[in-house]
A and B are shown apart, each in its own frame.
Chain A
Amino acid sequence: GPKVLQIPSHQIIDMGQMVTLNCDPVSNHLYFYWYKQILGQQMEFLVNFYNGKVMEKSKLFKDQFSVERPDGSYFTLKIQPTALEDSAVYFCASSYWGGDAEQFFGPGTRLTVL
């Protein structure tokens, strides 16, 4: 079936540094999402993105977070600067339409902030 890729699979950085998480969504999908899962906790919505714009974001999506998808390239989540509480697995997802559409998830990027 359709696959979403995420690069890298693991990232270890020092607190205060910048990190960019990359997502290669399903090619004809139009909606893109980021979710955060702290170890042992549930997956939580961060942000969704459509037509070049953020449509909705949760309170977890701090001012240090930003997303973009330049034409034809990765959908990225940038954190600048990082904090210890940003350590988590970040899942990217994409769907062809919104609403009740199936979201296809990537395998996640495990981010460790030291």
Chain B
Amino acid sequence: GDSVTQTEGLVTLTEGLPVMLNCTYQSTYSPFLFWYVQHLNEAPKLLLKSFTDNKRPEHQGFHATLHKSSSSFHLQKSSAQLSDSALYYCAANYGNEKITFGAGTKLTIKP
């Protein structure tokens, strides 16, 4: 069935190091992919989403590349900041009116 997998539940990094959060999806066709971010005591909000024309979405220094061959949409940033500490959800829309979320990755950035 349709599903989204985030393999890391917790990621702890030192400020300034690169970030990569994994996301893979299972589907018989390519869904729309999203990354949502939820800071402590706030609502989840969209960080970025995939484009149909294979452009690489970028926002706030984060980017993600859709690789259909490996069914992946990993989130990356070259240099982590303290303010990046949050819960990150990879999500997919399989052409209907709902989003399927992954389990989420809690990212903690230390000084």
Q: Are B101 and A44 in contact (CB under 8 A)?
A: yes
Question: Which residue of B43, B97, B100, B103 is within 8 Å of A91 (Cβ)?
Answer: B43
User: Do A43 and B32 form a contact, CB below 8 Å, given A55-B97, A99-B95, A102-B49?
Assistant: no
| B44 touching A91, Cβ below 8 Å | yes
**A104 at interface (Cβ–Cβ under 8 A)?**
yes
Quick one: which of B82-111 are within 8 Å of A by CB? 89, 93, 95-104
Cα A5 to Cα B32 in complex, Å, equals: 26
The tally of residues in A whose CB lies under 8 Å from a CB in B reads 26
Cross-chain contact of A108 among B43, B101, B104 (Cβ < 8 A): B43
19 examples of A-B residue contacts, CB within 8 angstroms: A1-B45, A31-B97, A35-B101, A41-B103, A42-B104, A43-B44, A43-B104, A44-B101, A45-B100, A48-B97, A56-B96, A56-B98, A91-B43, A91-B44, A98-B96, A99-B93, A100-B32, A102-B49, A104-B43
Chain A residues with Cβ below 8 Å from B96 are 56, 98
| Chain B residues close to A by CB (< 8 Å) | 32, 36, 41-46, 49, 89, 93, 95-104
A105 touches B45 (CB 8 A): yes
Q: Is the CB of B95 within 8 A of A107?
A: no
CA distance A105 to B99 in the complex (A): 12
Docked Cα-Cα span, A49 to B105, in Å, equals 28
Q: Does A75 contact B (CB under 8 A)?
A: no
Give B104's nearest chain A residue, CB to CB.
A42
Residue of B nearest to A4 (CB): B43
Nearest-CB residue, chain B, relative to A92 = B43
